[in-house]
Amino acid sequence: MNPSPTDHYPENPSENIIPDLPSEGCILCHHGAKLVLFITGLCDRTCWYCPLSIERKDLDVIFANDREVFSDAGIIAEAEAMDALGTGVTGGEPLLVRNRVVSYCRLLKDHFGSDHQIHLYTGRAPTEADLSALSGIVDEIRMHPPYEVWDHIMETDYPQSARLAKEMGFAIGIEVPSLQGIGNLKPMLPLLDFFNINELEWGETCADEMRRRGMEPTDDLHNAIEGAAGWAEEITGDPKVHFCSSGFKDSVQLRMRLIRIATMTARPFDDITEDGTITYGIIRSDRDLTEIIAEFDDESYEMQQDGSCECAWWLLDELTEVSGLDLSIIERYPNKGMIVEVNPL
C-alpha cells in the first residue's frame, strides 16, 4: 500500500501540549498555531544575550515565520499557509516602528477576525500613547525589561506600564531569558497576568559575549546554556510563572507549527514526516520524461519549469534501473521552505 502524505500526522496534536500555560498566546504558540511576525531587526538596546541572527540583527527587515516578506499580501499568505489562529509580533524593538505594528496588526485582525489573538514583545515599558495606539488590535503585551534594570525593577517605568496596560484591557506579562538574578523580578508578579522564562540559548551573534562570561552550550547538539535552567528556579513556583525550555521549543513548538503548515500546503504526493518536514522524489534527466510520467497517477507528480519531475518518493524505487535518470529523495521545510537533506539514489 502506498504511503499517505498524512501517515505521520498526529491524530490529536494537543496531546503533546502542556495544559497549564499562563496565557492564551502561550497556548496557541504551543499548538504551533501562531504566525511569528518579525517586524524589524532595529533596536535601541544592546543586550549582550540577544540571539538574533546576522540576517536580522540591526536590520530593518520583516519576516513572517522564516520567510522574508515585502508586502501585506506576503504576510497574509504566510498566515493563511498555516491557518494561523494568532500572531506573535517580535523584533528587534517593535515599538521603534509602532505605526508599522499598528498597520500589520490591524491588517491581520481585519482579515482573520477579532478572535485572531495577537501578542507583542517589547523591551520598553509601553507608554499611554503606545497602549492607546495598540488598543483593540493587540491582545497581550510581553515586556522584556533589560537585564541591567532587574535589580531595581520597581524604580523603573515597568510597574506603572503594567498597571496601565491592565486598566486598558491588555493581558500583560514579562518574558525574559533565564539569567542569574532573575529572582530580582519577583516584586513585579502581583502586577502581571503571566511571567514567561525562556531557557537562555547560544546564538551566533552573542557567542563572544557568552564566552566572555564563562557560558557554554549544554552539549554539541543543543543551544541551551549550561546552568540556565537552574537559574530560572529563583522565581519558578508561582502559578503565574512558566519556564519554556530550549528543547521544548524545538521538539514541540516548532514541530507543531511545521506540521500545521505542512498539512495546509502539502501536495497530494508530499509525505509529511513526524517532524513536520515533507519528503518527495525528484527526477532529472536530459531525456524526455513523457514516457515515464505516463505511468504515474495524475496526483502523484508535478512537472517543474526546469523540466524535472517532482513526485511521490516511493515511485523512484521503480526507476532505479532506468538509465539516464538522476534520482533523489528530498526532505525540506513545508511551503517551499529550506531543504534539509538530499538523498541521491
Count the neighbouring beta carbons within 10 Å of the beta carbon of residue 71.
9
Q: How high is the pLDDT of residue 25?
A: 82
Residue 1: inside a domain:
no
Count the neighbouring beta carbons within 10 Å of the beta carbon of residue 251.
13
Residue 135: inside a domain:
yes
Q: Residues 156, 111: one domain?
A: yes
Q: Residues 29, 45: one domain?
A: yes
Q: Residues 39, 157: one domain?
A: yes
Q: Residues 229, 160: one domain?
A: yes
Cα 332 to Cα 336: distance, rounded to the nearest angstrom: 7
Q: Residues 66, 132: one domain?
A: yes
Cα 248 to Cα 227: distance, rounded to the nearest angstrom: 16
Query: If you average pLDDT over every residue of the chain, what do you get?
Result: 90
Query: Would you say 234 and 195 are in contact if contact means Cβ atoms under 8 Å apart?
Result: no
Query: Would you say 127 and 98 are in contact if contact means Cβ atoms under 8 Å apart?
Result: no
Lowest mean pLDDT among 13-22, 40-49, 112-121: 13-22
Q: Residues 121, 160: one domain?
A: yes
- Of 229, 264, 299, which residue constitutes the final position of a domain? 264
Helices (H), the chain: 24-30, 72-81, 98-112, 128-134, 158-167, 207-212, 228-232, 246-248, 254-265, 290-293
Residue 279: inside a domain:
yes
Residue 6: inside a domain:
no
- Of 241, 264, 287, which residue constitutes the final position of a domain? 264
Q: Residues 193, 121: one domain?
A: yes
Q: Residues 273, 247: one domain?
A: no
Residue 7: inside a domain:
no
Q: How high is the pLDDT of residue 204?
A: 87
Q: How many domains does the chain have?
A: 2
Please state the separation of Cα 55 from the chain's center in Å.
Answer: 16
Please state the separation of Cα 212 from the chain's center in Å.
Answer: 29
Residue 302: inside a domain:
yes
- In this prediction, residue 24 has a pLDDT band, given cuts at 50, 70 and 90, of confident
In which residue are the cell numbers 488590535 written? 137
163-186, pLDDT tens digit by residue?
999 999 999 999 999 999 999 999
Q: Strand 194-198 and strand 241-244: pairing?
A: parallel
From the list 275, 214, 215, the residue with the least C-alpha distance to 250 is 275
DSSP reduced 3-state for 54: coil
Please state the pTM of the whole predicted model. Answer: 0.82
Cα 165 to Cα 192: distance, rounded to the nearest angstrom: 10
Cα 91 to Cα 52: distance, rounded to the nearest angstrom: 9
Residue 218: inside a domain:
yes
84-111, pLDDT tens digit by residue?
999 999 999 999 999 999 999 999 999 9
E-strand spans in the chain? 34-40, 63-64, 67-68, 86-91, 117-122, 140-143, 171-177, 194-198, 241-244, 271-272, 278-284, 301-303, 309-311, 326-332, 339-344
Residues 6+ positions from 16 with CB-CB distance below 8 Å: 10, 252, 256
Q: How high is the pLDDT of residue 12?
A: 38
Q: Residues 310, 190: one domain?
A: no
Range of the domain at 47: 13-264
Query: Would you say 280 and 271 are in contact if contact means Cβ atoms under 8 Å apart?
Result: yes
Q: Residues 297, 234: one domain?
A: no
Residue 85: inside a domain:
yes
Q: Residues 237, 336: one domain?
A: no
Residues 6+ positions from 171 with CB-CB distance below 8 Å: 23, 24, 25, 119, 139, 140, 141, 193, 194
**Tell me, what amino acid is at 285?**
S
- Of 220, 238, 264, which residue constitutes the final position of a domain? 264
- In this prediction, residue 141 has a pLDDT band, given cuts at 50, 70 and 90, of very high
Percent of the chain whose predicted confidence (pLDDT) is above 90: 80
Orientation of helix 254-265 relative to helix 72-81, angle to 10°: 100
Query: Would you say 65 and 15 are in contact if contact means Cβ atoms under 8 Å apart?
Result: no
Count the neighbouring beta carbons within 10 Å of the beta carbon of residue 247.
15
Q: Residues 241, 323: one domain?
A: no
Cα 276 to Cα 295: distance, rounded to the nearest angstrom: 29
- In this prediction, residue 3 has a pLDDT band, given cuts at 50, 70 and 90, of very low
Question: In this predicted model, which residue has the larger pLDDT, 52 or 24?
Answer: 52
What's the CATH number where 252 sits?
A: 3.80.30.10
E-strand spans in 241-322? 241-244, 271-272, 278-284, 301-303, 309-311
Grid cell of 35 as nine digits: 504566525
CA distances from 301 to 126, 165, 275, 318 (A): 52, 53, 23, 14
